């Protein structure tokens, strides 16, 4: 990658913008001196060698690649001209045609990172417009893989669905963890012990699923076949509607993603 390439992050002072900026520097995609980051109120105190600005058009003019890292509801206030530059959006729900029209460039990419970008473990699906070149795709992959794993998908419908499956994904194990911890505390386990035990279980489960070639359904079936305490718990959770609740949650996230694109 060219040492002279520069990257700008609109919303670089925010949580996800910061995660991207620090990952880009750590992975040596570009040096901090080639980053321009925008903020809305008080100038952040990280990456002091980067250029900080409150002027988003100045950021665009200084950058070869622009990452738009703002909340979808803040998107209508972004008034810039990217004049044919490569722009990557991390906003849920905003379609490619709207990005291209508003940003005045046909080189636009929709990406959907998740909260694990902060620890370089995001899974990020993405899709580019017809104007995105092979060189652009290499740049996109390098940036996204600095934050974890990434895959190009075939349609924007895939991105909308993945908004819930992977974009919201880290919230779901956190929701399970919170429910397990609350139950443990109600039964007299100390909060510290409940937290340590539940987090260890979730981390261990992730590593186990990653290490084994089995489909997760096969792992579940293995526990069911033992007919022990785990099987009893799984059967009770299923009877209470666990799998239907997951499907309903993913459907709600998909509907919200589509509606956000229609309302902006």
Q: What range does the domain containing 100 cover?
A: 7-153
CB 83 within 8 A of CB 63: no
Q: Taking the model in full, what pTM does it have? A: 0.85
Q: Mind listing the pLDDT tens digit for each residue in 212-233?
A: 888 999 999 999 999 999 999 9
User: Domain containing 175 — which CATH number?
Assistant: 1.10.3730.10
Give yes or no: residues 180 and 256 share one domain: yes
Domain assignment of residue 162, yes or no? no
Give yes or no: residues 99 and 19 share one domain: yes
pLDDT at 3: 56
Q: Domain ends where: 120, 153, 186?
A: 153
CA distance 81 to 103: 5
Give yes or no: residues 201 and 233 share one domain: yes
pLDDT at 260: 81
The residue count for the chain: 264
CB 115 within 8 A of CB 171: yes
Query: What DSSP assignment string belongs to 50-68?
Result: SEEES-HHHHHHH-SEEEE
Name which of 103, 101, 108 is nearest 82 in CA terms: 103
**Segments in the chain below pLDDT 70:** 1-3, 263-264
> Would you report the helix, strand and coil content of the chain in percent, each value rounded to 5?
55, 15, 30
Give yes or no: residues 14 and 111 share one domain: yes
Give yes or no: residues 144 and 186 share one domain: no
């Amino acid at each position: 990658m060219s040492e002279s390439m520069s990257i700008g992050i609109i919303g670089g002072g925010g949580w996800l913008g910061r995660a991207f900026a620090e990952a880009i520097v750590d992975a040596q995609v570009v040096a901090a001196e080639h980053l321009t980051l925008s903020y809305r109120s008080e100038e952040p105190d990280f990456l002091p060698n980067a250029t900080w600005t409150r002027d988003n058009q100045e950021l665009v003019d200084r950058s070869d690649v622009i990452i738009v890292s703002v909340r979808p509801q803040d998107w209508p206030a972004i008034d810039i001209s990217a004049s044919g530059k490569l722009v990557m959006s991390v906003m849920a729900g905003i379609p490619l045609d709207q990005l291209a029209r508003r940003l005045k460039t046909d080189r636009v990419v929709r990406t959907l990172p998740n909260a694990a970008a902060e620890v370089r473990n995001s899974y990020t699906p993405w899709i580019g417009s017809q104007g995105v070149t092979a060189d652009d795709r290499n740049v996109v992959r390098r940036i996204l893989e600095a934050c974890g794993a990434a895959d190009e998908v075939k349609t924007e419908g895939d991105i909308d669905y993945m908004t819930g499956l992977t974009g919201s994904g880290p919230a779901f194990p956190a929701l399970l963890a919170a429910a397990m911890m609350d139950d443990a505390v109600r039964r007299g386990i100390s909060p510290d012990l409940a937290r340590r035990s539940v987090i260890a279980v979730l981390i261990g489960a992730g590593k186990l699923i990653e290490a084994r070639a089995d489909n997760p359904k096969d792992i579940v079936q293995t526990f069911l076949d033992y007919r022990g305490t785990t099987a009893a718990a799984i059967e009770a959770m299923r009877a209470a509607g666990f799998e239907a609740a997951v499907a309903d949650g993913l459907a709600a996230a998909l509907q919200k993603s589509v509606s956000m694109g229609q309302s902006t």
